[in-house]
Amino acid sequence: MKKPGWKELPDGGRIIKAGNADEYNTGDWRTFRPMWDQGKCTHCMICWITCPDSSIHAKDGKRLETDLDHCKGCGICAEICPTKCITMKKESDFI
Amino acid sequence: MKAKALSGAESVANAMRQIDPDVVPAYPITPQTDIMHAYAKFVADGVVSGELIRVESEHSAMSAAVGAGMAGARVMTATSANGLALMWEIVYIASSLRLPMCMAVVNRALSAPINIHCDHSDSMGCRDTGWMQMYAENNQESYENMIFGMKYAEKAKLPFMMCLDGFITSHGIEPVTLFEDEKVKAFLGEHKQDYPLLDVDNPTTVGPLDLFDYYFEHKRKQSEGMFLAKGIFLEVAKDFEATFGSKIDIFEKYHTDDADTVIVAMSSTCGTAKEVVDKLRVEGRKIGLLKLRLFRPFPSYELKEVLKGKKVIAVLDRCESFGAFGGPLFSEIRSALYEVSKPKICNYIYGLGGREIDMAMIESIFDEIEKYTTADIKDFVKYLGVRE
């Protein structure tokens, strides 16, 4: 992506478009990846409500796959999960 | 309107009363305190509608000012010396956010050793913070600069420091002619902040993390804002003169047109210098005074034009810039003149910590620099009025 020149930027370093965090792939920072075992999941939604990056999405009361573009791999979901259906795996294992 | 006997601080407070800002966060410090005493009385008496927030420090005062300004409020405050130093972090943030506000800085020496009297080390110390700065000679100018500065800040979308000399101006009583309240209101109009945070339908982000990929562009844009502020100064000055019949200018030329030797100075010292110019002009000496009113944005082009062809210039700095070649005003003026004619130019550091500057001292400068029309300058930077 070509970055804008100084003349194109709003004054004062403002970000005038809301919801732009979506465009920033914080998933790049991740060292550990959460692995979700669907079979053990009870869809209690504790991980969904606890995720600090809103990277766990849900639809119709069911947990969906983790959004790996934005998940920073903090591991809170794995820690909090009552059925221990999330485990953290090193990113280097996927190379 | 009839003139009233007012101190400089009361003059500033009266400007604040007429501007009636939405929010004034302030913390007391000598000699700024008299402004806030007078303004707080206006608040207590119900003659203003704005909110005076009594914060726990100057750092908090500027933080509250930034918060209120970002929400969309018209904001003012005032401080001095160590108070300004404590504000510093947020002073820089206010300008970087392109937030207009008007702050009176009652110039006072910075510690240590502790001193409550006038010099310009406080506001000169933040000459690179991105605030616009004007320096007032007397009470009338302090009053007018405040009203001008509020509009100037809002037009330029930058914060404005109105500097007046501590005690000399802030506590000295002079006749001051106030404008009509209604005229001031009409001149300022309603403040419309860009993207106010209270506009919840159009949310924006203020002060996000900004690293090596964007920070430089944001600073370049800020720099351009300051550059454009020079043109805006002249526009608002024109409007000001049309409304109030009083002239706001970058500088005041006092017998400079045909002068061979000129003193450049700011603030209350100019009042003393004018008396000396009057006296020496009677004797037929071709000397003059250039009183600089606008220091930031620095009017380098305009100074170059007005000082072109002069034989000797003495720049007076009420501030030391440790380790630099002369005081800040000297080095900037010398730099502004580099490309054109190069008059002889020297620097006098004076008046630190409220040390008196009188007519005899200013006359001694004229005596000395007139000699330099033929002789070489020996010391470019001198300390005037210090005991050896």
In the prediction, which pLDDT does A1 show?
Answer: 74
Residue B158 · residue B222 · CB < 8 Å: no
CA B374 to chain centre: 35
- Using a CB-CB cut-off of 8 Å, the residues of chain A touching B203 are 18
Tell me if B3-244 shares its fold with B251-384.
Answer: yes
Q: How far A15 CA sits from the closest chain B CA (Å)?
A: 5
Residue A72: the pLDDT is 97
Confirm if B79 and B103 have CB atoms less than 8 A apart.
yes
Looking at the partner chain, which of B194, B208, B220 has a beta carbon nearest the beta carbon of A6? B220
Is the pLDDT reported for residue B140 higher than 80? yes
CATH assignment of B251-384, among 3.20.80.10, 3.40.50.920, 1.20.1270.10, 3.40.605.10: 3.40.50.920
pLDDT tens-digit series, residues B114-127: 999 999 999 999 99
User: In this structure, are strands B287-292 and B261-265 parallel, antiparallel, or unpaired?
Assistant: parallel
Partnered with residue B6 across adjacent β-strands are: B174
pLDDT at B259: 98
Chain A touched by B353 (CB under 8 Å)? no
> In the prediction, which pLDDT does B279 show?
98
| Nearest residue of B to residue A5, measured between CA atoms | B217
Give the residue with greater pLDDT, B364 vs A24: B364
Residue spans of the domains in chain B: they are 3-244, 251-384
Specify the 3-state DSSP secondary structure of B60: helix
Q: pLDDT tens-digit profile of B341-351?
A: 789 999 999 99
Q: pLDDT value at position A15?
A: 93
Q: If DSSP codes are grouped into helix, strand and coil, which group holds residue B215?
A: helix
Q: Contact B221/A9, CB-based, under 8 Å?
A: yes
pLDDT of B364: 98
B3 torsion bin: left (phi>0), alpha (psi -120 to 50), beta (else) = beta
Cα-based distances in Å from B54 to B62, B103, B122: 12, 16, 22
At B295, the pLDDT band (50, 70, 90 cuts) reads: very high
The pLDDT of residue B25: 98
Q: What's the pLDDT band for B339 if we cut at 50, 70, 90?
A: confident
Nearest to B204 among A4, A5, A14 (CB): A14
List Cα–Cα distances, A82 to A45, A46, A59, A61, A86, in angstroms. 10, 8, 20, 17, 10
CA quadruple B147, B150, B156, B158: dihedral positive or negative? positive
Residue of B10, B293, B28, B241 whose CA lies nearest to B143: B10
Question: Using one digit for the tens of pLDDT, what is the confidence trace for B299-336?
Answer: 999 999 999 999 999 999 999 999 999 999 999 999 99
Provide the CATH topology of domain B3-244. Answer: Rossmann fold (3.40.50)
The answer to whether A59 faces chain B, any CB pair under 8 Å, is no
Q: Is the pLDDT of residue B354 over 80?
A: yes
- Tell me what percent of the residues of chain B surpass a pLDDT of 90: 98
pLDDT in tens, A46-63: 999 999 999 999 999 999
Question: 6-45 in A: which are within 8 Å (CB) of B?
Answer: 6-7, 9, 11-16, 18, 20
| Strand ranges (E), B182-269 | 251-254, 261-265
One-character DSSP codes across B258-275: T-SEEEEE-TTHHHHHHH
Return mean pLDDT, chain B: 97
pLDDT exceeds 90 at position B87: yes
What is the structure's pLDDT at B341? 76
Confidence (pTM) = 0.92
Whether pLDDT at B75 is above 80: yes
For residue B375, give every residue at least 6 positions away whose Cβ sits within 8 Å of its Cβ, in sequence order, or none: none
What fold characterizes domain A31-94?
A: Alpha-Beta Plaits (3.30.70)
Which ipTM score applies to this complex? 0.89
CA distance A41 to chain B (A): 37
What confidence category does residue A19 fall into, taking pLDDT thresholds of 50, 70 and 90?
confident
Cβ atoms of B319 and B339 within 8 Å: the answer is: no
Q: Please count the other Cβ atoms lying within 10 Å of the Cβ belonging to residue B223.
A: 12
- Contact across the interface for B206 and A9, Cβ inside 8 Å: no
pLDDT of residue A95: 84
Kindly compute the dihedral angle of the four CA atoms of residues A18, A23, A29, A30, in this order, to the nearest 10 degrees. 100
